[in-house]
Structure 1
Amino acid sequence: MADTKQPKSGIDRRNFFKTAAITGAAFVGAGATAGGLAKPWIRTAAAAGTNWKIQTSWPGGVGLQIFKDWCGSIAEKTGGELSLEPFGAKDVVGDFQLFDAVKNGVLQAMNPFTLYWAGRIPASVFLSSYPLGLRNPHEWDVFYYSLGGLEKARALFAEQGMHYVGPIHHGPNIIHSKVPIQSIDDFRGRKMRLPGGMVAEVFQAAGAKTTLLPGSEIFPALEKGTIDVADYVGPAINYALGFHQVTKYISMGPPGFMSLYQPVDLMDLTVGMDAWNALSPQMKQFVEMEVHVYSDMHHAAIQKADQEAWKKFDEAGTIVTRLGESDVEKFTELAIPRWYAWANKDKHAAEIFKIQLDYMMSGSLGYVTPGMVKDQKLDL
């Protein structure tokens, strides 16, 4: 696979970045990977040799490999001006310690599941998909890049001494279980791992006994029987983590709706403010553009791996069950009051949710009708 050509050494850097921001980085062939992005030469003496330690929430599988490949590509793309030293989940700190590690400078950057910070920043529940909310990756891109979501996210993290660079797609979450889950009623009484926040509250309303665990701790919890149902990401990574060895069933939504509760689970790249401010304006622009492109490639590569993983689950004897449309209606009834409860936790959450609610009620989507929310009040 050939790389796109680097700009000649005599090209004006300012004009190059202006052009790059408009056109984006090029993809080279259908089999492109995160290491195959365009490679502009943008080295400057002032910031030469900057290295960031960055930890992801991926504990293994294709997600971790894509992340490491992408990090390894940055030094070449920047001519050594910036390099990323990648670490997998728990390599430096625990998943739920990432926030403080970046804030305090132990790490310069993190690539977490954004929803993990719901307890610290209530509005973050609306920075990743939530039950029966926005349902497709492009809808989240519209929210972030066209409706003001990116600016809202950056303002929130700036208050914490960090810079939110951008969202990173990976795909829907699915549920693994030791028992068949064929309706919403089957969650009642089950010990279930969930990511916390609104997602956990909706399942609690459905009768599940929820617990919060990072991805690296799900397999042993299932193996020991501490939990008997677990949500995590998609089939490729979950197969690599061995979930087929300790569960027999996978539960999803109706056809075309893999996950009712997190259909577009989002990660992000967040950088400590000191590390971010040490970059030149041109390098900041490059990193922002690179994360946007990485999100697309990360998502596509994981979806490709998922197709192979479904065959492996089938060979392992895993049985896939699906919820029905009546379950969608029941989950929606449980979810809507919790949308508003979380939105009303603070003004930032309310403002962000209002953007998404207007979008969901618009002619473009129509997920929500006035009758569905007539008894709800949003405190703006």
Structure 2
Amino acid sequence: MTILKTALTAAAVTALMATTALAASHSEVTKLRIQTHYAPETVSGKLAAEYVDDIQKMSNGTIQVEMFYSSSVVKSVETFDAAATGILDCDMTGGAYQTGKNPAFQFVGDIMGGYATPYQQLSWLYYGGGLDAAQQLYNKYDMQLVGWWVYGQESLASSKPIRNADDFKDWKFRSPPGMETKIFEKLGAKPIVMDFTEIFTALETGIIDGADASGLANNMGLGLYDLVKHANFPGFHSMPSDHLACNKSRWDAMPEAHRTIMSVAMQALALKTALTFEKKNAEAAAQLRADGVNLYAWTDEDLQKFRDAAQASWPEFATTPEAKALVESHMAYLTQLGLVSK
């Protein structure tokens, strides 16, 4: 009985210590300032708000977020550095904005011409060794990659028809920075790099003929098809991995329970985003057709022209050890999925 009593007492003490530690971690408050480039009325903006609501509720209010939409604190491309230097705590834009820092960010932001679905791209991150490879890159710049939310293939917005690759000749359009400019130049287009928030005005004033902004539903939410009446659907050229990345020191100082909540909630956001856009893009396509917007589905032959131009640009852009390692990782996984041949 004495041994049993001692064991029970030890177990009770251990349970009490665990409960006390858990209570202590939940009593700690984490306050975060997060910026996204998405407007609150877009589909992605609403999903970001749901993520914030989820982590606040799951933490019983001990994670508190001040959310900034439409890049209201700093420009979209400056969000990463603002988080790394403590102006913000977390960046909810995407890695492709940081290609000027290291071209490796292209291959965690938008490989272009690679994966066909969000599920394939997410599987590389979580089951193809992608997260470990990407984390080394983010940590080098004092940031922690928490997770991805991938809405699927983007659609373009244009004042001119974009029926096939030939229509890109002399097509002046807004492009994000990075590899995309090289790919579209190969196809005869004239990409102009500008901030996400400047797209509407540039289209409205005729500075550009079209824009690579987002998915069809997001583009509609931004009002782009109120200005121009041509788009492609389904998309093919770009499938950005929007990210949540946080200041590394800030992340490491957070209670483990808070880090777990945010990481798992990002996986939920990833699935919710992919499923939501399956539906929202189809609804947007039906509405846009009814409103007189021309939607073009490209032939397999024209799609292959784009993939060839994209894949020819990967090695050109992989000019650092980190970029080369990520391209090799993607190629191995794409080959395993049967999306590229050896």
Same-fold status (TM-score > 0.5): yes
Helix, strand or coil at the partner of 1:119: coil
Question: Are the counterparts in 2 of residues 129 and 135 from structure 1 also a CA contact under 8 Å?
Answer: no
Question: Are the counterparts in 2 of residues 63 and 302 from structure 1 also a CA contact under 8 Å?
Answer: no
Equivalence for 1:260: 236
Deviation at 1:15, TM superposition (A): 9.3
Question: Deviation string for 1:160-209 (max 9, x for gaps)?
Answer: 11111111112211011111111211111111112221122110111111
Partner Cα distance (2:102, 2:276) in 1:
30
Partner Cα distance (1:325, 1:243) in 2:
27
Partner Cα distance (2:27, 2:274) in 1:
31
The amino acid across from 2:179 in the alignment is M
Equivalence for 1:274: 249
> Do residues 287 (structure 1) and 262 (structure 2) align?
yes
> Do residues 136 (structure 1) and 117 (structure 2) align?
yes
Q: Of 9, 28, 31, which aligns to 1:51?
A: 31
Q: How does 1:106-121 map to 2 (within 5 A)?
A: 106-121=87-102
- Aligned-residue Cα RMSD (Å) equals 2.2
TM-score normalized by the length of structure 2: 0.89
Question: Deviation string for 1:109-143 (max 9, x for gaps)?
Answer: 11012211111121111113333212222222221
Deviation at 1:44, TM superposition (A): 3.0
Distance 1:332-1:65 versus aligned 2 partners, 3 A rule: closer
The answer for unaligned runs of 5 or more in structure 1 is 1-11, 17-41, 253-257, 371-380
Deviation at 1:46, TM superposition (A): 7.2
Partner Cα distance (1:124, 1:251) in 2:
26
Equivalence for 1:28: none
Say which one has the larger Rg.
2
> Do residues 361 (structure 1) and 341 (structure 2) align?
no
Distance 1:46-1:73 versus aligned 2 partners, 3 A rule: closer
> Do residues 310 (structure 1) and 247 (structure 2) align?
no
Helix, strand or coil at the partner of 2:241: strand
Question: Deviation string for 1:32-80 (max 9, x for gaps)?
Answer: xxxxxxxxxx753576222101011212412112212321232221022
Question: Are the counterparts in 1 of residues 122 and 150 from structure 2 also a CA contact under 8 Å?
Answer: no
Task: Return the structure number with greater helix share.
Answer: 2
Question: Deviation string for 1:194-253 (max 9, x for gaps)?
Answer: 22211221101111110122322111111100000111211221111111111111124x
Helix, strand or coil at the partner of 1:265: coil
Question: Are the counterparts in 1 of residues 30 and 63 from structure 2 also a CA contact under 8 Å?
Answer: yes
The amino acid across from 1:358 in the alignment is A
Partner Cα distance (2:73, 2:186) in 1:
36
Helix, strand or coil at the partner of 1:132: coil
Helix, strand or coil at the partner of 1:282: helix
Q: Of 287, 297, 300, which aligns to 2:275?
A: 300
Question: Are the counterparts in 2 of residues 134 and 356 from structure 1 also a CA contact under 8 Å?
Answer: no
> Do residues 74 (structure 1) and 46 (structure 2) align?
no
Distance 1:43-1:270 versus aligned 2 partners, 3 A rule: farther
TM-score normalized by the length of structure 1: 0.80
Question: Deviation string for 1:343-377 (max 9, x for gaps)?
Answer: 2x111111111111122223x31x3224xxxxxxx
Partner Cα distance (1:267, 1:13) in 2:
41
Distance 1:15-1:249 versus aligned 2 partners, 3 A rule: farther
Q: Of 150, 164, 180, which aligns to 1:199?
A: 180
Residue identity over aligned pairs, in percent, reads 25
Question: Are the counterparts in 1 of residues 148 and 270 from structure 2 also a CA contact under 8 Å?
Answer: yes
Aligned length: 326
Partner Cα distance (1:211, 1:104) in 2:
28
Partner Cα distance (2:197, 2:17) in 1:
43
Question: Are the counterparts in 1 of residues 181 and 191 from structure 2 also a CA contact under 8 Å?
Answer: yes
Deviation at 1:301, TM superposition (A): 2.4
Partner Cα distance (1:347, 1:240) in 2:
39
Partner Cα distance (1:329, 1:61) in 2:
31
Partner Cα distance (1:347, 1:47) in 2:
43
Q: Of 215, 222, 233, which aligns to 1:241?
A: 222
Equivalence for 2:306: 331
Equivalence for 1:320: 295
Partner Cα distance (1:138, 1:45) in 2:
34
Question: Are the counterparts in 1 of residues 217 and 281 from structure 2 also a CA contact under 8 Å?
Answer: yes
Question: Are the counterparts in 2 of residues 132 and 260 from structure 1 also a CA contact under 8 Å?
Answer: yes
The answer for unaligned runs of 5 or more in structure 2 is 1-14
Question: Are the counterparts in 2 of residues 190 and 208 from structure 1 also a CA contact under 8 Å?
Answer: yes
Partner Cα distance (2:324, 2:214) in 1:
27
Helix, strand or coil at the partner of 1:250: strand
